[in-house]
Amino acid sequence: MNSIIEMKNITKQFKDKEVLKRINFSVREGEIFGFLGPSGAGKTTTIKILTSQLIPTSGEGKIFNKDIYSFKKNIFKKIGVLSDNSGVYERLTIEDNLTLFADIYGVDRKNVDDVLRSVELFDDRKKEVKKLSKGMKQRLMISIALIHKPKILFLDEPTSSLDPRTAKEVHDLLRKLNREGTTIFLTTHNMEEADKLCNRVAFLNDGEIVEIDTPENLKLKYAKNKIEVKLKGKNEKISVKNDEKSAEKIKNWIVNSQLLSIHSQEPNLEEIFLSLTGRGL
């Protein structure tokens, strides 16, 4: 798979503070890549570098094979960035807002209908923004980032201010956009969101990447090698090692019809992050 983003030994220094410490990662075409870390880890700084709002202090980076130190205007045709709500006009309709952005970005107004359909706001296009639910408003913000049909969409904490139901609505939309061909780079401090949504995740802690892999591989890598069983007549679950000795025990429970349930114990991403960094999110 082709890489859209390649970052090598990227650092960012603000005065005497090193916010990013030689980070390395790539984002492949077609994936949803999650950048995870607690507040202050350097997630927004990274997204700003990737979207040309900040220049790194050192390191090498390429996006669509173009050097990040010399972005040309035409790179912006290929990237979309979700910004906050401030840019939309509350008294205008969804359609008028989007048409306005199409004109500002100099893209064909024909894109408006396509994009509204893809974020599932076409039927509501005549509604004023001030009357929209939070989820619809977030979908409108995403549609603005997509108006020029970019190949990659950057989202900084796309669901941080949303309730679980609205967040799910946004997750479903991001999955759909990804299926339709948009590569997605998002930051989050919500490990559950990352687990459900991302093909690969990078753990960022204090400006350093401590792990990068698929959520599944990370769970296997940090598996506790334990099996949890529930037996008839016992309230508590029992945790046993995943080894030959336990296999004999488990066999006996089965033979004696004592076994009610059996599961391998997998850590979640939150627990893995905690074990790697000693801190939660």
Ligand X SMILES: Nc1ncnc2c1ncn2[C@@H]1O[C@H](COP(=O)(O)OP(=O)(O)OP(=O)(O)O)[C@@H](O)[C@H]1O
Residue ranges in contact with ligand X by CB under 6 A: 14, 17, 19, 37, 39-45, 189
Q: How far is the CB of 84 from ligand X (least distance, A)?
A: 12
Q: How far is the CB of 113 from ligand X (least distance, A)?
A: 34
Backbone angles phi, psi at 142, to 5 degrees: -65, -40
Which amino acid, residue 244? Answer: E
Tokens of 78: 């290929």
Q: What is the dihedral sign for C-alpha 52, 53, 55, 61?
A: negative
Residue 234, classed as helix, strand or coil, is coil
- The residue among 39 and 65 lying less far from ligand X, judged by its C-beta, is 39
- The residue among 48 and 127 lying less far from ligand X, judged by its C-beta, is 48
- The residue among 111 and 159 lying less far from ligand X, judged by its C-beta, is 159
Q: How far is the C-alpha of 153 from the C-alpha of 170, rounded, in Å?
A: 14
Closest CA to 174 of 147, 146, 200, 212: 146
- The residue among 52 and 93 lying less far from ligand X, judged by its C-beta, is 52
Q: How far is the CB of 12 from ligand X (least distance, A)?
A: 8
- The residue among 39 and 257 lying less far from ligand X, judged by its C-beta, is 39
Q: How far is the CB of 207 from ligand X (least distance, A)?
A: 7
- The residue among 39 and 86 lying less far from ligand X, judged by its C-beta, is 39
Q: How far is the C-alpha of 146 from the C-alpha of 245, rounded, in Å?
A: 56
Residue 281, classed as helix, strand or coil, is coil
Residues in the chain: 281
Q: How far is the CB of 56 from ligand X (least distance, A)?
A: 13
Q: How far is the CB of 77 from ligand X (least distance, A)?
A: 26
- The residue among 38 and 267 lying less far from ligand X, judged by its C-beta, is 38
Q: How far is the C-alpha of 279 from the C-alpha of 281, rounded, in Å?
A: 7
Helix-strand-coil split of the chain, %, nearest 5: 40, 30, 30
Q: How far is the CB of 250 from ligand X (least distance, A)?
A: 44
Q: 11-14 long-range contacts, Cβ below 8 Å, gap at least 24?
A: 11/56, 11/57, 11/58, 11/59, 12/42, 12/45, 12/49, 12/54, 12/56, 12/57, 13/57
